[in-house]
Amino acid sequence: MAKTWITGPLATGCLGVAWLVASATGLACHRTSLGDVPGGSPDGGGDVPDGPDPRDGDVDASPGGASDTRPDLRFDLAPDLRPDLGPDTGPDLAPDRRPDFAPDLRPDVAPDRRRDLVPDLRPDLGPDLPRDRAPDRETAAVGFAAVSTGVETTCGLRIDGTITCWGDNAIGLATPPPDAFSSVSVGPSFACGLRTDGTVACWGAVTGLVVPDGVFASVSVGYGRGCGVKPDGTVTCWGVVFGDVPQPSGSFASVSTGDSSICGVRTDGTLACWGQSTFGLTTPPSGTFTSVSTGSLSACGVRSDGTLACWGDNTHGETTSPSGAFASVSTGAYFACGVRTDGTLACWGNNSAGETRPPAGTFASVSASRYYACGVRTDGTVACWGNNSMGQATPPAR
């Protein structure tokens, strides 16, 4: 076995003064101190023994002294090991004098696997990424986590926290702020979103609208008003409030703002409604509920056992809910839709625009509004049905 002592660029590839051992299996780097170099000393002095200049050709490591040009005895001077050298040349190596060192240090490893043998000089980057650039941001559109329907405008919350809106934008309803959100709710004249820091942002016809400061746990927008539940369970509303109608006290888990009334689920599961008492909207059924949704003239809630209970105007059959177990419900104008526990949809009530004929498939959530509805499929895409006069039922592909 022959030893070839090296310094300079090749030694840098071996992380210091080193020696290369040539054998039948290739070259191997071994660290050493200058005291081990023939003629050297521990303090860095001494001479490197005479030998072929590696810049003048292949290193002579064969027993007979002849130049050995076998691929497994050649060494690749990787540019990232010598940052002072450019990728094609360096100040002391002209292109025509650079050693032709091939990367075949491990002939027993397939060429497409040899990159795994390179030391990870940038552990903060993935193993399959070049070491001179950060990971690229995904260019494909991100799927949706939730959707909210207005009158002729729809907004969807993407899984990356951004909001995308489509449909009528005459008053800026389809132009949400470029912030990160955790939820969104669209009403007839304005929309509001809950930022990831808990603050509320509203857009659309918001001139004169005073949105309260502070942190909220949820937000809901109805006709001319919005309401939110604070972390302590209290409810705060803004916009057109109900004047002399008192807002109930107590602790709430959620709130739903409709056209003429507001309902909330208390932390004990019971319901409380206030606003206009037309059609008995402010007289919810007893029992415990997991969620509630208030529409134009009716409301529905999911009981703790998964069954539905609806009350209010039933002119179009909107309070005649189907049987079975449901995960969620959404009440619109004269119709309602719910997501069953198996992920399929069921809609009932007025069907003048096909709003009670939902598509097949499995859904994570649904939102009903005026004559149309949208739902988020379990694959993150949005499907809409019913009235599409302003493109509100034409969601983006992703």
281-291 pLDDT, tens digit each: 999 999 999 99
Ranges of CATH 2.130.10.30 domains, the chain: 147-386
**pLDDT score for 244:** 66
**pLDDT score for 242:** 73
Phi/psi of residue 18, each to 5°? -150, 175
> What size, in residues, is the chain?
398
Asked if 383 and 395 touch (Cβ cutoff 8 Å), the reply is yes
Domain 147-386: CATH architecture, name and number where available: 7 Propeller (2.130)
- Residue 237 pairs in a beta bridge with 227
**pLDDT score for 359:** 98
User: pTM to 2 decimals?
Assistant: 0.66
Low-confidence ranges of the chain (pLDDT < 70): 1-141, 243-244
Exposure class string for 211-241: b at 16+ Cβ within 10 A, else e: beeeebbbbbbbbbbbbbbbeeeebbbbbee
**pLDDT score for 157:** 98
**pLDDT score for 243:** 66
**pLDDT score for 195:** 98
SS3 385: strand
- Rounded to whole angstroms, the Cα distance separating 247 from 243 reads 10
**178 DSSP assignment:** S
